[in-house]
């Protein structure tokens, strides 16, 4: 396959960036999108250019490191992570636009690499259960009904890639935050910190400069792990509940 790539190149956080065009040949339809970029980068290195910087690690769709906006869609046309997107979903001769996640809270570091540390700070504000090592009761001391455990799991699947923020026209992190709030708040182990968790995490989210939710649903459409949109409603419910309890 032969492709024309228009890739966002930016040398540093404070430098201006621009879309740069590259023609790449010798693309196999079996390549992943990242392997296609590897291929481009090898050519750039040999040509004396700087390769395109992009985040990636596990390359099996679970670490959440990779992510770029491909033809205007977070992670591209398939509902999966960029590393699991294969070139067979494109046609020979296509022009593909590749851009970094765009959000004020995710400043560009270089090329397609952005700083998502705001997510870590949201988790640090309350996205945990306080259970110091050694203090745990016997695992079977509290039974957790299977539907509750399944709901927790469904929300715990979030990989923190940031596609929800990138897809949201408001740069909102509601889906990411709600996934963790719901995961922990439905479990009996998470109950003691239920109110403070949601209040603190929403507070941290707002403080990081993420936008507000206008319920466009773009986040859930882009989410490679299928975190459902109603989880935002569930977080709102938890939030109102916490407010009404006066905490």
Q: Name the minimum Å distance from CB 2 to other proteins.
A: 15
DSSP letter for each residue of 90-117: S-TT-EEEEE----TTS-EEETTEE--H
Does position 9 bind other proteins by CB under 8 A? Answer: no
Does position 129 bind other proteins by CB under 8 A? Answer: yes
Site for other proteins in 137-156 (CB under 8 A): 137-140, 142-146, 149, 152-153, 156
Q: How many whole angstroms from its chain centre is CA 233? A: 19
Site for other proteins in 188-247 (CB under 8 A): 189-190, 209-218, 228-230, 232-241
Site for other proteins in 75-104 (CB under 8 A): 80, 84, 86, 88, 97, 99, 102-104
Site for other proteins in 160-179 (CB under 8 A): 160, 168-172
Please tell me what DSSP assigns to residue 217. -
Does position 110 bind other proteins by CB under 8 A? Answer: yes
Q: Name the minimum Å distance from CB 199 to other proteins.
A: 14
Taking the CA atoms of 123, 126, 127 and 131 in sequence, report the sign of the dihedral they define.
positive
Which residues, other chains included, contact 112 with Cβ-Cβ below 8 Å and sequence gap of 6+?
A: 7, 8, 52, 53, 54, 55, 68, 98, 99, 100
Candidate residues 2, 4, 92, 120; the one interacting with other proteins per rule CB under 8 A = 120
**What tokens does 26 get?**
């010798």
Q: Name the minimum Å distance from CB 116 to other proteins.
A: 6
**What tokens does 69 get?**
């906006």
């Amino acid at each position: 396959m032969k492709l024309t790539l228009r890739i966002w190149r930016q040398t540093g956080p404070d430098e201006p960036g621009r879309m740069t065009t590259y023609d790449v040949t010798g693309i196999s339809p079996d390549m992943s999108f990242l392997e296609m970029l590897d291929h481009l980068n090898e050519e750039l290195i040999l040509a004396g250019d700087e390769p395109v910087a992009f985040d990636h690690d596990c390359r099996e769709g679970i670490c959440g490191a990779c992510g770029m906006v491909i033809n205007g869609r977070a992670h591209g046309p398939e509902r999966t992570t960029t590393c699991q997107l294969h070139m067979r979903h494109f046609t020979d001769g296509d022009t593909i636009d590749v851009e970094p996640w765009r959000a004020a809270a995710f400043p560009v570091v270089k090329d397609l690499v952005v700083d998502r540390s705001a997510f870590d700070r949201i988790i640090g504000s309350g996205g945990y259960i306080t259970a110091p090592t050694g203090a745990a009761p016997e695992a079977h001391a509290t039974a957790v009904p299977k539907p509750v455990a399944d709901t927790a799991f469904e929300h715990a699947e979030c990989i923190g890639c940031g596609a929800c923020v990138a897809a949201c026209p408001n740069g909102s992190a509601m889906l990411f935050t709600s996934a963790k709030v719901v995961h922990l708040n439905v479990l009996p182990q998470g109950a003691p910190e239920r109110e403070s968790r949601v209040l603190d995490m929403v507070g941290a989210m707002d403080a990081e400069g993420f936008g507000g939710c206008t319920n466009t649903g773009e986040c859930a459409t882009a989410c490679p792990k299928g975190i459902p949109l109603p989880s935002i409603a569930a977080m709102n419910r938890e939030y109102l509940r916490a407010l009404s309890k006066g905490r």
